[in-house]
Amino acid sequence: MHNLQHPNFEALKELLDKKVVQFNQPDFIKDDPISIPHLFSKKEDIEIMGFWAAVLAWGQRVTIINKCKELITLMDHAPYDFMINHQENDLKKLLNFKHRTFNSTDTLYFIAFFKDFYQKHASLEEAFSYQMKTNDQNIENGLNGFFNLFFGLEDAPGRTKKHIASPARKSACKRICMFLRWMIREDTTGVDFGIWKTIQPSQLICPCDVHVDRVARKLGLIQRPQTDWLTAVELTENLKQFDPKDPVKYDFALFGMGVEKYFYIK
């Protein structure tokens, strides 16, 4: 545990708690990629489109949300059903799907992985938890295990690896950490789903996107010069001093303050 010797510890905690309440609200959903899994009620659909929305969360949020909706339409508004029951012919319409550097090769491999996985497992949670030990401080083993499992099919394209981050490759893993926040964090306001129970909210790592990173540095919550996995761990360890059971709720505060360009502490 980093002992955060912040000159204004109490004031900082008060500010962050206030900002969590402000931003962790249902109206946060509509402009955020989390709106995509919220379109579904079936657990598998929430997992599949939550994962996909997080992976595609790159660039303008409006574009990300529109791209995900396009993908949902291509899968007949039933992603899980499509994964399990599609015929080879059904895949043709997905060949034109593209977002930034994510292309049809990546799309088809994601579908192949989900089809293979859901034939053997009930929930995507198993893909993230199977390499974790009960006393793991955080999700590092889970993320590395997931990466290896995800690319375990024999025809896994090398190019798709750039879309799935892992701590072993020194990445801050911001998109997957965001996805895990959605699935694992217990949330009384109905933003995060909390549908996975094996991994604890206290083991989550805060997603370090540009807004969060910038605000966290201004507030003295990150000292590490670069932004990588150890930076995300440093930030989360510092946030645990404000709430050891649910440190990642402060993602809402830091992200919101970044968007607002607000980070003044008296």
**CB of 129 closer than 8 Å to CB of 97:** no
CB atoms within 10 A of CB 250: 26
Per-residue pLDDT tens digits for 204-221: 999 999 999 999 999 999
Based on the domain organization, do 15 and 40 belong to the same domain? no
Which DSSP letter does residue 135 get? T
Based on the domain organization, do 37 and 16 belong to the same domain? no
**Where residue 1 falls among pLDDT bands split at 50, 70, 90?**
very low
Tokens 């911001």 found at: 174
**Structure-block tokens of residue 207:** 């997603």
Please, how many CA atoms are within 13 Å of residue 149, restricted to the half-sphere of its CB?
A: 20
**Where residue 7 falls among pLDDT bands split at 50, 70, 90?**
low
Is 196 contained in some domain? no
pLDDT of residue 261: 73
Domain count, the chain: 2
Task: Using alpha carbons only, give the angle 83, 192, 53 rounded to the nearest 5 degrees.
Answer: 40
Read off the pTM. Answer: 0.95
**CB of 211 closer than 8 Å to CB of 254:** yes
**Where residue 5 falls among pLDDT bands split at 50, 70, 90?**
low
Residue 266, pLDDT > 60, answer no
Per-residue pLDDT tens digits for 160-200: 999 999 999 999 999 999 999 999 999 999 999 999 999 99
Per-residue pLDDT tens digits for 127-137: 999 999 889 99
**Where residue 2 falls among pLDDT bands split at 50, 70, 90?**
very low
Is 195 contained in some domain? no
Enclosing domain of residue 232: 1-30+206-266
- Alpha carbon of residue 264 to chain centroid: 27
Q: Which of 179, 198, 223 is the last residue of a domain?
A: 179
Based on the domain organization, do 167 and 89 belong to the same domain? yes
Closest CA to 210 of 260, 261, 258, 264: 258
Is 233 contained in some domain? yes
Based on the domain organization, do 110 and 140 belong to the same domain? yes
Average pLDDT, the chain: 94
Sign of CA pseudo-dihedral 207, 212, 214, 216: negative
Based on the domain organization, do 1 and 49 belong to the same domain? no
Is 192 contained in some domain? no
Based on the domain organization, do 1 and 66 belong to the same domain? no
Is 198 contained in some domain? no
State the alpha helices, DSSP H only, in the chain: 9-23, 43-55, 61-74, 79-85, 104-120, 125-129, 140-150, 174-184, 210-218, 229-239, 250-260
Based on the domain organization, do 148 and 265 belong to the same domain? no
pLDDT of residue 73: 98
Mean pLDDT of 248-260: 94
